[in-house]
Every structure is written in C-alpha cells, then in structure tokens.
Amino acid sequence: MMSFLIPSAALGKPLKGISLLGICNPNFPCAVALGLLENQPVKAIGYLSDSFGHECPCLKTFLDDESHRFIRVHLANGTCFPERRRRCGRLDVFYRLSLKKAEDKLRGKDRGLLRRYRASIIRTTALLGPETDKLKIRYSLCLECPFSRSTRSVLLREALRYFPREAIVDSPLFGPCLPNVICEWHGDSPRYRNEQRCISDSDGITPLNGDMSKLNNLSAKCEAIFYWTYGFNLLEYGYSGPFISPNKRTAQVTEQELDGVRACLDS
C-alpha cells in the first residue's frame, strides 16, 4: 500500500492529476471536473490563485474531501502581460503592469508589488490551510514565469518566508529552473536534469492534440503530471479569439475533452 508521506517519485510513479487553472471561477464545472479523479488513489489538482476569483467554491469542495489529496498552486499569473496579448486583471498580483515594468519593480524590490505578492500568499494559505497526512501542497512562484532567473529569485526569497524550500516550485517560461526547488515545465516536451525534482503540466497542449505518451515518459520521475484542456480555463476548445478576463469566462468543458483527460488518468 502506498504511503502518502513520501513523494510518489520515490516509488517510481508520478501522481496523475488535472490542471484546473480556472477552479476559482464561479462558473467552473466542479462536479464533472472533480468526478474525473474518483478512481485515483491520490486526488491531484493544479490551479491558479487570484486570476479567476477569490471565493473558489469548487476548491473548497475539493478541500472538504477526506481522500488523500495533492495540490500545486501558482501564486501569481505570469501569462497575463500585454506582451502576450493579454492583460493582468485587478485580482492579479501584476495588475496594470507590463512585463518590463513588473520585472523592473521586482528587481528594485518595490514594496507595493511585493506587498501584493505577499497578499496572494496569505490568501492562499488561509484558503488551503496547513498540510496534513492527507493533504500535500506545492507552491509555485508564478505561472509560466517570464522573468529572468535573478528576478524569480526575488519571488523565491519572499516565498521562503512562508514555505519550506522543498515545497516550492519554479515554473519558468524559458531558461533553467532555480536550483534546489521543484522544477515545472508545461506542454508535452518537458526537459529535466537527472535527479531533478519535478512536476509536469500539459498546460497549452491537450490530450486531443498533444503527445501524452511522450509527456508521461519524460515525466516518469516527477512527483505529479497534470493534464490540461481549454474547458478547465473556461474557454471553448481551441479558442484563439480576443482575450476574456478569467473571472468573466463561462464556457464549459466538452465531453470530448473530458474523455481525453480521463484516458490520460487511466493510462
């Protein structure tokens, strides 16, 4: 019988979970999404703090579950900058900032911006509560973080005030991960060094258009693999239209998407 007190990677098998970035949106399809995990020995999810809302009713439902659970949360949204044809909303840590402005402020240790980052950490810890023998939590500095290594180190120093190093994840958009933390790559072609602690997320690639076998093979020594699809971001499948604020999205995940994710979880 698997002990949940040690990383799954120590047993040679990563946890399989779902990338529910939009779980805090009030329109999130909670029952159908969480229902995908019913047969998993550990129910594992990844999500994004702040962008989709602060109330998070579906996440609270997940936390009320008495099963063994594993959560990876991104503490800030690194994908919302205008340089990526998006915008950071009022709920985001980087509200009203461009990528360059955010990077400059972090390098200068801007008190206002660091205060917003700490507020996200405090909200997240208040919502999730402490780890228990049935709940393990990993804290990602920033979703697909586009900042330089030295700038991400500023976020790491803040996170270390609240979390042990072994629970912290670096999810860079490019370049190597920070040393001595968990490394996370997205898509179906993650790249990890030997013996590097890791979490993979197919975010941006779905089971219907990506190579999930390759993802699984390249992530074989990771703690967890999360499978993503557009509906988990409350977007129509393949959506490439104008930017829609995350907290205002209403599109629902399709049966075809659910079947694709289900096949990954059962493989």
Q: How far is CA 240 from CA 52, 59, 78, 108, 237, in A?
A: 19, 27, 19, 35, 9
Write down the residue that tokens 């209403």 correspond to: 250
Residue 5 domain flag = no
Give the pLDDT score at 2.
Answer: 43
Name residues whose C-beta falls within 8 Å of residue 167's C-beta, 6 or more positions apart in sequence: 131, 137, 138, 139, 182
Q: What is the pLDDT of residues 119-174, one digit of tens each?
A: 999 999 999 999 999 999 999 999 999 999 999 999 999 999 999 999 999 999 99
Strands (E), the chain: 15-19, 43-48, 69-74, 135-140, 168-170, 182-186, 198-201, 224-227
Give the pLDDT score at 34.
Answer: 99
Q: Which segments of the chain have a pLDDT < 50?
A: 1-3, 6-7, 9-10
pTM listed for this prediction: 0.95
Residue 75 domain flag = yes
Q: How many domains does the chain have?
A: 1
CATH at 133: 3.20.20
Give the pLDDT score at 8.
Answer: 55
Look at strands 135-140 and 168-170 and give their pairing.
Answer: parallel
Give the pLDDT score at 117.
Answer: 99
Residue 4 domain flag = no
Say how far residue 158 (Cα) sits from the centre of its chain.
18
Residue 229 domain flag = yes
Residue 163 domain flag = yes
Residue 3 domain flag = no
Residue 224 domain flag = yes
Domain hosting residue 253, numbered range: 12-266
Residue 221 domain flag = yes
Give the pLDDT score at 1.
Answer: 35
